[in-house]
Structure 1
Amino acid sequence: MQLKEKKVLITGGTRGIGRCMLQELIDGGASHIAIIARDKKSLKEISESYPEVKFIRISGDVGNIDVLREAAARIEDKWGSLDILINNAGIVSAGPLEELPDEEIYDQVAVNYTAILLLTKYCIPLLKNAEEAAILNISSGLGLIGMPFYGVYASTKAAIRQFSDSMRRELAPFNISVTCSYPTATDTDMMQKFEGREMDSPEFVAKRSIEGLLKKELHVVFGGEEREKDSELNFMDPKKFDDKIANGYEQLKESSTGHKAM
C-alpha cells in the first residue's frame, strides 16, 4: 500500500505521535486528510501550512458521539470514500482505582475505546468504497501487560488489541487491513511527568507505525527485547511476573502518582 493520493482520517493529529504521523502522511503524498482534534488553533495552523493538501478540520472531543458522526458525514459528502483510518487520540489518568475520580474513569473509556468502536463503525462504509483500505489503531505497551495503577488506561488499550484482531478478521473479505501499534514510553506531552527518562521519540513511533500500516503488519510492538520477554513471561507464567511487579510495587506507585493527561 502507498500513501500517494490517499484519503486519510486521523484523530488527535495536532500533537505528539499524531502530529508526527500527520507529517509522515503528508511526506508520503497523502492528498486528502481529515483531522479530529480539540485544538482549533492548531487545526487551522496545520491546514494553512500545507496548501497542497485538502483538509477537513473537525474540532471537538472524540468522546462526543456527535463529533464522530460529523466527521464521517463530512467525509462522505466531500470525498465519498476513505482509504485510511487512524485511531490515535488517547488520554490517561493513573493511580489507585479507588482514588480515581469517576469522571476520569468514564472519560478514559470514552476517548480511548468507545470512540474507536464508534468511529470505525461510521467509517466502514467509506472504507469499503475504496479499492484498498487500512485501519491503524494505536494501543499501548500497557495493552499487552497490565500494570498496577494503570488499570483503567491499560484495560482500554488491551481492548483495542482485541478489537483490532476482530475487525481484521471481519473486514478481510473487503480488502481492509487492520494494524495495531503498541508504543511504550514516548516523549510527548502525555509523558511530561517522566522528563529525563529514556523514551522513544514520537517521530520514531509515528514512522514505524505508518510503515506497519503500509506493510499490512498485524502488530507493531515497541520496547525491544525487554518488552518481548516481559510479554512472554506475563502470558506463560503470570504468577512469576506478579512476583516481579511486587518487588517494585512502591516505586511503581510513586512513579504513577500525578501521571495525568486528559
Structure 2
Amino acid sequence: MQLEGKNVLITGGTRGIGKCMIQELVNGGVRHIAVIARDKQNLKQLSQDFEDVKFIRITGDVANIEVLREAAALIEDKWGHLDILINNAGIVSAGPLEDIQDEDLYDQVAVNITAVFLLTKYCIPLLKASKEAAILNISSGLGLLGMPFYAAYGSTKAAVRQFSDAMRRELAPFNISVTCSFPTATDTDMMEKFKGRVMDSPEFVAHRSIEGLLNKELHVIFGGEERLRENIMNFEAPKEFDKMVAQNYEDRKKASLGHKAV
C-alpha cells in the first residue's frame, strides 16, 4: 500500500504519537487529513506546521458520539470516501482499582474502546468506497499483558486487539486491511510522570506503526525480544508470569500512583 494521494482520518493527532504519525503521512505524500482532537488551538497549529496539507479539523471529544458522526459526515461530504482510518486517541488512569474514580473508569472505556467501535462503524461505508483501504488501531503493550494497577486501561487496550482481529476478518472481502499496534512506554505527555525512564520515541512508534499499516502487518509489537518472551510466558505459563510480576509488586504500585493522562 502507498500513502500518496490517500485520504486519512486520525483521532488524537495534535500531539505525541498522533502528531508524529501525521508527519509520517505527510512524508509519504498524504495531503488530505481529517483530525479529531479536543484542543482547538492545537488543531489550528497543525495547519501552520503542515502548510501543504488540506485539513478537516473536528474539535471535540471522541467520547461524544455526535463528534464521531459529524466527522464521518464531513468526510463523506468533502471527500466521498476514506482510505485510511487511524484510531489513536487514548487516555489512562492507573492505580489500585478500588482507588480509581468511577468517572475515570467510564472515561477510559468510552475513549479507548467505545469510540473505536463507533468511529470504525461510521467509517466502514467510506472505507468500502475506497479501492484499497486500511485501519490502524493503536493499542498498548498493556493490552497484551494483564498488569496490576492498570486493570482498566489494559482491559480497554486488550479489547482493541480483539476488535482489530475481528474486524480484519470481517472486512477482508472488501480489501480493507486492519493493523493493530502495541507501543510500550513512549516519551509523550501521557508518560510525563516517568521522565528519566528509557522509553521509545513517539517518532519511532509512529514510523513503525505506519510502516506496519503499509505492509499490512497484523500486529506491530514493541518492546523487542523481552516483550515477546513475556507474551509467550503469559500465555503458556501464566502462573510463572504471576511470580515474576509479584517480585516487584510494591514498586509497580508506587509507580502507578498519580499516573493519569486524559
Structure 2 length as normaliser, TM-score?
Answer: 0.99
**Match status 1:77 vs 2:81:** no
**For each residue in 1:89-125, what CA deviation from the matched residue of structure 2 results, as whole angstroms up to 9, or x when unmatched?**
0000001111110000000000000000000000000
Letter in 2 for 1:138: I
Specify the alignment match of 2:47 in structure 1. Answer: 47
Specify the alignment match of 1:149 in structure 2. Answer: 149
- 1:54 deviates by 1.4
Letter in 1 for 2:96: P
Specify the alignment match of 1:197 in structure 2. Answer: 197
Letter in 1 for 2:44: K
Q: Equivalents in 2 of 1:244, 1:45: separation in Å? A: 45
Specify the alignment match of 2:121 in structure 1. Answer: 121
- 1:42 deviates by 1.0
The sequence identity of aligned pairs, in percent, is 74
Specify the alignment match of 2:242 in structure 1. Answer: 242
- 1:62 deviates by 0.3
**Match status 1:231 vs 2:231:** yes
Q: Equivalents in 2 of 1:232, 1:204: separation in Å? A: 24
- 1:45 deviates by 1.4
Structure 2 regions of 5+ residues with no counterpart? none
- 1:31 deviates by 1.7
RMSD: 0.6
SS in 2 for 1:196: coil
Specify the alignment match of 1:93 in structure 2. Answer: 93
Specify the alignment match of 1:57 in structure 2. Answer: 57
Q: Equivalents in 2 of 1:158, 1:82: separation in Å? A: 26
Q: Equivalents in 2 of 1:44, 1:184: separation in Å? A: 29
Specify the alignment match of 1:186 in structure 2. Answer: 186
**For each residue in 1:56-90, what CA deviation from the matched residue of structure 2 results, as whole angstroms up to 9, or x when unmatched?**
00000001001000000000000000000000000
Q: Equivalents in 1 of 2:152, 2:255: separation in Å? A: 16
Structure 1 regions of 5+ residues with no counterpart? none
Structure 1 segments, 4+ long, off by >4 Å, are: none
Specify the alignment match of 2:2 in structure 1. Answer: 2
Structure 1 length as normaliser, TM-score?
Answer: 0.99
Q: Equivalents in 2 of 1:45, 1:254: separation in Å? A: 37
**For each residue in 1:106-164, what CA deviation from the matched residue of structure 2 results, as whole angstroms up to 9, or x when unmatched?**
00000000000000000000000000000000000000001000000000000000000
